[in-house]
Amino acid sequence: MIPLISTLCQGPLGVAQLPRFWWKNLLYQAGQLDSDYPNNSRALDQWVVDLLDLNMEQTQAYLWNEKPDYLEFEEWVQEHGTIDQVANERWNKALINRPHVAPGKIDETYGDIGYAKAEITEVSAVLLNCLQDWNLYHSSDLGGPGIQTPFPPLLSSIDQGPLGICQLPRTWLKTSLRAKGLLHLDYPDCAEGSLDQRCINTLQLDQEHTLSYLRNQNPTYLQFEEWVCREGTIEPDAVTAFNQLLLEREHIPAKLEDIHGTLNRPNDGTWTSGVLLNHLEDWKYAHTTLLDGS
């Protein structure tokens, strides 16, 4: 399986890459990690472990033997590592602007995405790695034997493609999974008032036309963005306002109670961010589904 949790995703500790490292190692232990993906990249994976003053062998042994959910992993990190908030913030900011500079890495990602070097000069590691994940996921997991049971949509609301629109990749994934009967039953696609619907409305797309295209044509993510450009209207101010709303959004009390119940954690008022809680809910469902099937 392609590990769809992106580099920029964070849990309560606020450390980017740590959730992706956790998920890759759980998939690896279960024999489900795509063979093109190392469970320790010797780059970002090693660096985030070093950042937290952890031992790589000890950390991987804990993940493989105990198979913790994400919150349990963060608790273990706090017990065995060092949390330096200033260093964490510096790390997170560095990841946002990190480029791919090695020709071999550019060639690899461009090849997987379908980019032509004569036409495109994109070097953002975050964007290129996301597009590579999404394209490989579409061809190998959605198009092959990779997923065999309903699964949570592990693309985050904060993930963006070249158009820079939050939620759009997640809407694409949810609808694609639902069309194949593979979206976890606790997830609606384009429910009334949902972020999916708000995203589609922001782009001035017709909802039924959009869903029909996704369900019937099964496009790659880049093909979907090309369709959005043809069929919708992209107003930069509207996109900026939507992205800001999404990033600052807090869940209503009923949703807070629901997600905390899923996490088996008391709602003490600490976690209210919609982005964070949706991450934790996604990762909890993914952990449960993986362990049930392994």
Q: Return the pLDDT at 105.
A: 87
Q: pLDDT tens-digit profile of 113-134? A: 999 888 888 899 999 999 999 9
Report residue 236's pLDDT band, with 50, 70 and 90 as the boundaries. Answer: very high
Q: What is the pTM of this model?
A: 0.95
Q: How far apart are CA 258 and CA 161, in angstroms?
A: 30
Q: Return the pLDDT at 96.
A: 94
Q: Return the pLDDT at 149.
A: 86
Report residue 143's pLDDT band, with 50, 70 and 90 as the boundaries. Answer: low
Report residue 147's pLDDT band, with 50, 70 and 90 as the boundaries. Answer: low
Neighbours of 57 (CB within 10 A): 10
HSE value, Cβ hemisphere, 13 Å, CA-based, for 112: 20
Q: How far apart are CA 96 and CA 104, in angstroms?
A: 21
Going along 45-189, which residue ranges are E strands?
Answer: none
- The single-letter code of the amino acid at 95 is L
Q: Return the pLDDT at 247.
A: 96
Q: pLDDT tens-digit profile of 256-293? A: 999 999 999 999 999 999 999 999 999 999 999 999 97
Q: How far apart are CA 93 and CA 146, in angstroms?
A: 33
Whether pLDDT at 8 is above 70: yes
Burial class (CB in 10 A: 0-12, 13-18, 19+), 201: middle
Q: How far is CA 132 from the centre of its chain?
A: 13
Report residue 158's pLDDT band, with 50, 70 and 90 as the boundaries. Answer: very high
Among 108-117, 136-145, 152-161, 226-235, the minimum mean pLDDT is found in 136-145
Q: How far apart are CA 7 and CA 84, in angstroms?
A: 19
Averaged pLDDT for residues 177-193: 92
Among 60-74, 113-127, 168-182, 224-238, the minimum mean pLDDT is found in 113-127
Comparing 202 with 148, which gets the higher pLDDT? Answer: 202
Instruction: Specify which of 34-38, 184-188, 231-235 reaches the highest per-range mean pLDDT.
Output: 231-235
Averaged pLDDT for residues 170-196: 93
Averaged pLDDT for residues 52-72: 98
